[in-house]
Structure 1
Amino acid sequence: MRVTVLGGGGGYPTPERACSGYLVEHDDFHLLMDPGHATMSRLVEYVSPEDVDAVLVTHGHADHCADLNPLLRARHLADDPPGQLPIHAPSGALDALLSLDGAMLADDWTLTVLLSAQEVVIGPFTVTSVELPHFVSNLGVRISAGGRLLAYTGDAGASPDTVDLARGADALLAEASFVDEVPTESAEGLSSARDRGKVAAEAGVGQLVLCHVWPGESTDRLRQAARREFSGEIAVATPGLTIEV
């Protein structure tokens, strides 16, 4: 299983980093996960819009799903449209986005609602969802294929359920909007690099990849904070980073 980071940023895109966006591949199947702002232009450096086999969205904030719209437009307007795109997301998360173009794109996608503690098969991937605290409904996911396991938090406040999500994962892709302390007003739905280091250590993950990097934040500071809690391999999600799970 291979994961290519298309963005890895949180909040809004910058010249250096698009928002959340990850291309997960196994056996020539292309699963696009959380296509946030500005990730479409990075996606097409790796695959054509027609070659995306499925999309998975953890929650409905625009920095995790906005570029689903240009992806659907590109497929619709292709010389040889590829047919309906399977989309998997929590209930209601994409209602506003999928209605943007009205009837124009209505036949270009199918939607499967993801539920907490549910296991679904998407191509070669087995996906198990875990509800994690955020400001809107958010599902962390455990994605397995070929005997390997990737865990991804989406965006989530500190919770013991995150350890269960990550337990035994070969790689943990974890939101870390803050370095150390999380401001009180954000604690309900976001976390820190140091807390993710604690989770990685307790869950016994092979590799920790910090993501949802806030604009202007130092990747070195994030890495150093996680290192205080986790002695394993640590990376920060930057565009073009490839993770061999």
Structure 2
Amino acid sequence: MRLTVLGGCGAWPTARQACSGYLVEHAGFRLLIDPGYATLPRLLTRLDVGAVDAVLVSHGHPDHCADLNPLLRARELRDDPAPPLAVYAPHRALDVVLALDRPGMLASALRLHEFSPGDRLDIGPFTADTVLLPHFVPNAGIRLTTPDGVLVYTGDTGPSPDVPRLARDADLLLSEATYARRVPDADAPFLLTAELAGQYARQAGVSRLLLTHLWPGTDRATVLEAAREGFSGPVGVAVPDLVVEL
């Protein structure tokens, strides 16, 4: 299983960093997780839009799904339309982004599979176990399993004992870390720190921790230092074009 980071910036993209977006490949199958703002151009540096086999969305915030619209446009409106794209998302999470075009314009471009966090999904060669994690809107933490490895992605989440439970013995924990050590009080139930992500990684016994969804302008060295206070294994930051082999 191979993870390629398209972007890992929280809230909005910067000049150098797209928002959340991750390409996961196994056995020739290409799964795009969270096509957030500005991730499509990054994807196009690696493959044609028709080569994406499925999309999995953790929740409906636009920094995690806005580029689904241009992805579907690029597949549907070209001279040789691609087959309908399998798209998996929590119930109603994509209502807004799918309403950006006139009704029916992209209806044949996708096959929408809505799920409730807690469901198990079979997506190509991947088994995806999901769990509801605390955020401003329903958010699915995701555990992707293949015979070769386990990747756990939190989406956006606040503190929850379900995070280390979901990540138990995973090869890689891709964890939101919007702030280094302290989340502003109003957002504290719904966002995570790098410090706590490191503690969760240790509790779960994961092999590797990758921090993502950093607030724009965050110093990477600061979040790495915070995460390493709780986790002694390899720690990195999700930056464009980073490739991790599991």
Work out the number of aligned pairs and report it. Answer: 245
Aligned to 1:32: 32
Matches within 5 A, 1:234-245: 234-245=235-246
Aligned to 2:72: 72
Aligned to 2:196: 195
Q: Is the 8 A contact 1:2 1:244 kept in 2?
A: yes
Q: Is the 8 A contact 1:114 1:129 kept in 2?
A: no
Identity of aligned residues (%): 52
Aligned to 2:96: 96
Q: Distance in 1 between matches of 2:194 and 2:3?
A: 20
Q: Name structure 1 gaps, 5 residues minimum.
A: none
Deviations 1:200-244 (CA, angstroms, capped at 9, x unpaired): 000000000000011100011010000000000001000000111
Deviation >2 Å, runs of 4+: none
Deviations 1:87-132 (CA, angstroms, capped at 9, x unpaired): 0000000011112112210111111112222111100100000110
Q: Is the 8 A contact 1:125 1:144 kept in 2?
A: yes
Letter in 1 for 2:82: P
Paired residue secondary structure (2:117): coil
1:166 and 2:128 matched = no
Q: Is the 8 A contact 2:117 2:139 kept in 1?
A: no
Aligned to 1:138: 139
Q: Is the 8 A contact 1:117 1:131 kept in 2?
A: yes
1:178 and 2:179 matched = yes
Q: Name structure 2 gaps, 5 residues minimum.
A: none
Residue 78 of structure 1 deviates from its aligned partner by: 2.3
Q: Distance in 2 between matches of 1:159 and 1:47?
A: 36
1:115 and 2:116 matched = yes
Letter in 1 for 2:189: E
Q: Distance in 2 between matches of 1:243 and 1:210?
A: 13
Letter in 2 for 1:78: R
Q: Is the 8 A contact 1:49 1:71 kept in 2?
A: yes
Matches within 5 A, 1:213-228: 213-228=214-229
Paired residue secondary structure (1:107): helix
Letter in 2 for 1:31: L
Letter in 2 for 1:185: A
Q: Distance in 2 between matches of 1:106 and 1:77?
A: 12
Normalising by structure 2, what TM-score? 0.98
Paired residue secondary structure (1:8): strand
